[in-house]
A and B are shown apart, each in its own frame.
Chain A
Amino acid sequence: MTNAWTDIKNTDLVIVMGGNAAEAHPCGFKWVTEAKHHRGARLIVVDPRFNRTASVADVYAPIRPGSDIAFLMGVIRYCIENDKVQWDYVKNYTNATYLVNDAFGWAEGLFTGYDEAKRDYDRTSWEYQMNEDGTVKTDPTLTDPRCVWNLLKEQVATYTPEFVENLCGTPRERYLKICEMIGATSARDKVMTSLYALGWTQHSKGAQNIRGMAMLQLILGNVGLPGGGVNALRGHANIQGLTDIGLLSHTLPGYMNLPTEKEIDYTTYMSTRGNKPLIPDQTSYWQNTPKFMVSFLKAMWGDAATRENDWGFDWLPKLDVAYYDILRMFDMMSRGEVNLYFCQGFNPLLSFPNRAKLTQALSKLKLLVTIDPLQTETGHFWEDHGIYNEVEPSKIMTEVLELPSTCFAEDEGATVNSGRWLQWHWPGATPPGDAKHDTWIMANIFLRVRELYRKEGGVCPEPILNLAWDYEDPYEPEAAELAKEMNGRALQTLYDPKDPAKVLVEAGKLLPNFGVMRDDGSTMSGCWIYAGSWTEEGNMMARRDNSDPGDIGTFLNWTFAWPANRRILYNRASCDLQGKPWDEARKLIEWNGERWQGFDVPDIAVTAKPETVMPFIMTAEGTARLFSRKLLRDGPFPTHMEPFESPVENPFNAKLRGNPVARIFPDDLAQLGTSADYPFVGTSYRLTEHFHYWTKHNRVNAVLQPEFFVEISEELAAERGITKGGRVRVWSARGEIWAKAVVTKRIRPLICNGKPVHVVGIPLHWGFMGAARKGFGPNSLTPFVGDANIDTPEFKAFLVNIEPAAEEGASA
């Protein structure tokens, strides 16, 4: 989230699209009802299903799964056509005025540079026109046809209300009503917030869905303001934290990237990360990357990381492909190319697509280790559970270890909420049986491996032998020790560069913030964005002062928010060019003539002059990008693409299937179905009463929602002869499931290009372990393909068929 849960109270309009906050994030959603009640805020819900969020909406509109980009580009078109634009914001705080390379263009659903054989773009032309001094050419009058604004106008021209209605199946009056409500927030004293979740990410063009909303919010001037922003509602309690710390195939802590094998040494790696400002005087904060990188390498390898050995750069693994994400790893596993696999609090057998492929892949491992508080389906994948897990144990040669770990009630540490608050918690229960802390388990595994390398030698032992491990009890590192290691400390005394007599931080002391980090090896920090979370003042994440002086929901003394305890990102943009709030009644920070002050930590230097330094400090431009240059693989603007399995052809180019640059492995391409065999659109969703595959282990939640079901419209039920509560079989090109049919008015057929499109809703909380009845999930059916930029699986739009089935136990 750019903003925080408690900030939603400041909004005038909430749009929930690509999520279902009332059910998936109920207590956060209460801030929506708070805004409705106290401010008269209104709520728009756009979703294939009339869900519980929709049930309290002022306007609800249905949409065909996988058509969100068309809807959003249509709204942008409406705003431009009807002058619903926050012009001062757009001209100063975005790249609208920048000129784009003449070679860049778009035709027939594709941007310039498409290579069908490589399934990739040559992105050379997706760039600004540059001056000789390396700065960007601009046209502040917005008249040049090559300026971003005019290219955007051209890009969205196709998405007329007729086009949107035909493609999305959204009734036109409702769509136009929504456009009008959204457009009204272009006023300086009106703000909209966007709440989304996996309903936008789990598409083969997930990143572009989100960009569509980010662009719209910029055009309306709603980013950086209280009650505004683009708010990703994260899933698990600490997805934000683990992502911050870089537990992804291709990342390092603090949103730095792991090197590729083209980056042969530290100097080469840094050579493309200079981040010189493209506009004079801009912050371009990533210019500090060397300080964060060296501090990270010092946290990893301590004294063994020296200038002479590039701070241990060689000891980081180097990528030869974009990343070894979970889809790629399971594809490799299915071909016998992976031997060992660890699942720490992760149940991939239920959470990744094409379950048959997952089972087959796990069966080829030599050793599978689960480290989990629960007995998971993944750990038990070799057990025969009839139709719910049909396998022959004797044919599965994978060795499995199930290691019991502790849960939240038994451990200590911080988790990071969606609003980036690092909140510390304390243990209050003894672990059951022989369950142990994950830290103890990881330390024991690591120390044993290190001992084997010490005793026996082996291949490339240095990164293991040199790993910093200075914990009081090396077998049970304490949460406090680890948190301080992430915060970082000075390894030598740090002096003020402007006044060498002045000591900033004494050697050995914890760092007060990331501003003091150095690239000369004199500081260490495991995760630079967490600097300030545990300082010499103590554990900032444990603070519990819930006062809110500005009554604007920032709660600056409650725990700690990264970065720098900032509660609203890009908050400089809440003020006009001169530094006065766009809306005096919604004041967050302001320029007092000398410095920035207010109820949040300003996200630019406190003395940065308002008319010089622009708010988007992380970009080299200082502005936000309506045109994203080469940064996304599938286009600098969003363009509508169909899901890989769709009942509708891409209207721009009937030859395109799915996202034209998304990776799809040959076996999985061969397993895509068409609407001739699978006429209905499947989509996955979550229920209020369950959390993923965890709560089915709980008696109370198992009672609340005991049995797996699928949800269909009355019209589809009539067409297929399905009765309410009857058993059905649902199948795709990859698998089949059986479920109770819930026949509702909540899902209605959508009329696209004059033809009905039926949607089958499939909740995802059931498996074969736990207290609830055995059942299935959507992943038995879904295609093994992900988003073109990050490979989030396409769970929200795929093709299925459905028919009545005999009751369980009855003969067919």
Chain B
Amino acid sequence: MNIDLSRRSFLKLAGAGAAATTIGALGFGAAEAATAAHVRAFKLTSMTETRNVCTYCSVACGILMYSKGDLAAGEKAELIHIEGDADHPTNRGTLCPKGAALKDFVKSETRATKPRHRAPGADTWQDISWEDAFDKIARAIKDDRDQNFIEKNAAGVTVNRWLTMGFLAASGGTNETGWLTYKAVRSLGVLGFDNQARV
């Protein structure tokens, strides 16, 4: 089966539109068609459907996300529902107890939603702007790198490494985030660089 027919358009077909035509064509009378026409369209047909992949394990099940609002059209989008993608060859629409609750992850109350700063010795967070946070980070990187960067080893060989900084990258993130992170971190000379491959 090829996939030009999206799940959403399928739902639309199977919903209001199809009710009026297909049932009629099957020979049901006008009364049934009128009843069918009154059946409320499936709620998800008013949603924007987006194809995505489960963020947890490496089975990488296909998922369909339904949102109120269309990001592609520049609108705000609020996630309403997630289900398995029946067209996906691996999971064929199924999800496990983790994947079935994906929406709760997106909407978790303990999501980080604003940049925060904890001062040395403090016992609380303070809000900080992105600009101030970036300035703080850039200054710390520049100063520490300039102070601790090793250009040559004892034998005089160029080694260009910086060992007083480390970076752990996200195996939950995309390849594209990984590549941009790789470029930025390696260009600084960082060797203490890893992802979750060992854990």
Contacts and interface: CB of A to CB of B under 8 A. Distances in A.
Contacts of B140: 339-340, 366-367
A416 B179 CA distance: 13
Nearest to B84: A27
Interface string A16-50: 00000000111110100000000000000000000
Interface string B157-199: 1111111111111111111111111111011111111111111
A425 interface: yes
Contact of B58 (A237, A367, A429, A463): A237
Contacts of A351: 196, 199
Contacts of B100: 700
A325 B104 contact: no
A526 interface: yes
A31 to B, nearest CB: 8
Contacts of A261: 153, 155, 157, 159
A342 B161 CA distance: 17
Interface string B78-120: 1100100001111100111111111011111111111111111
A28 B199 contact: no
A5 B58 CA distance: 10
A245 B179 contact: yes
A339 B137 contact: no
A319 B112 contact: no
Given A320-B153, A404-B113, A415 B174 contact: yes
Nearest to A414: B175
Contact of A401 (B115, B139, B176, B188): B115
Interface residues of A, number: 173
A479 B160 CA distance: 30
A605 interface: no
B65 A545 contact: no
A412 B168 CA distance: 21
Given A413-B176, A415-B175, A547-B1, A448 B137 contact: yes
B59 A245 contact: no
A430 to B, nearest CB: 5
Contacts of A408: 52-55, 172
B34 to A, nearest CB: 36
Interface stretch (B18-26, B38-46, B142-150): B142-150
B15 interface: no
Contacts of B184: 442-443, 445-446, 467
Contacts of A795: 199
B32 interface: no
A370 B196 CA distance: 15
Q: How large is the interface on B (under 10, 10 to 19, 20 to 34, 35 or more residues)?
A: 35 or more
B28 interface: no
A247 B144 CA distance: 22
A10 to B, nearest CB: 14
Contacts of B197: 239, 242-243, 248
Contacts of A25: 57-59
Interface in A289-327: 300, 314-320, 323-326
Of the listed residues B76, B79, B107, B184, the one surrounded by the most CB atoms of chain A closer than 10 A to its CB is B184
A793 to B, nearest CB: 7
Nearest to B159: A318
Contacts of A499: none
B3 A544 contact: yes
B38 to A, nearest CB: 31
B134 interface: yes
Contacts of A436: 130
A448 B167 CA distance: 17
A417 B58 contact: yes
B56 to A, nearest CB: 4
A430 B101 contact: no
Contacts of B168: 326, 341-344, 346, 348
A104 interface: no
Interface in A242-299: 242-250, 253, 258, 261, 264
A345 B169 contact: yes
B14 interface: no
B193 A248 contact: yes
B30 interface: no
A404 B114 contact: yes
Contacts of A616: none
A430 B87 CA distance: 25
Interface stretch (A481-489, A500-508, A674-682): A481-489
Interface stretch (A73-81, A161-169, A690-698): A690-698
A54 interface: no
A112 interface: no
B165 A338 contact: yes
A695 B55 CA distance: 11
Given A315-B160, A400-B117, A467-B187, A452 B138 contact: yes
B149 A459 contact: yes
Of the listed residues B51, B139, B168, the one surrounded by the most CB atoms of chain A closer than 10 A to its CB is B168
Contacts of B104: 698-701
A444 interface: yes
A562 to B, nearest CB: 10
A367 B166 CA distance: 11
Interface stretch (A388-396, A663-671, A725-733, A745-753): A388-396
Nearest to A201: B198
A601 B66 CA distance: 36
A315 B164 CA distance: 18
Contact of A445 (B49, B141, B157, B189): B141
A775 interface: no
B181 to A, nearest CB: 5
Interface stretch (A132-140, A228-236, A635-643): A228-236
Nearest to A440: B130
B96 A26 contact: yes
Contacts of A458: 142, 145-146
A352 B15 CA distance: 51
A317 B174 contact: no
A438 B170 CA distance: 10
Contacts of B29: none
B165 A339 contact: yes
B126 to A, nearest CB: 11
B108 A428 contact: no
A792 B198 contact: yes
Contact of A688 (B96, B128, B172): B96
B99 A300 contact: no
Contact of B78 (A383, A403, A429): A429
Nearest to A456: B142
A102 interface: no
Of the listed residues B48, B95, B136, B174, the one surrounded by the most CB atoms of chain A closer than 10 A to its CB is B174
A56 interface: no
A428 B67 contact: yes
A331 to B, nearest CB: 11
B110 A771 contact: yes
Nearest to A402: B116
Contacts of A792: 198-199
Given A344-B167, A345-B169, A545-B2, A417 B60 contact: yes
Contacts of B76: 430
The 4 closest A-B pairs by CB, nearest first: A345-B170, A433-B113, A413-B174, A428-B50
21 contacts: A237-B54, A237-B57, A237-B58, A238-B170, A241-B171, A324-B193, A338-B165, A340-B141, A345-B171, A399-B119, A402-B112, A402-B116, A403-B115, A411-B174, A418-B58, A426-B52, A427-B50, A443-B180, A445-B137, A463-B160, A546-B87
Given A247-B178, A394-B121, 6 more contacts: A332-B163, A344-B169, A421-B60, A485-B179, A486-B175, A698-B108
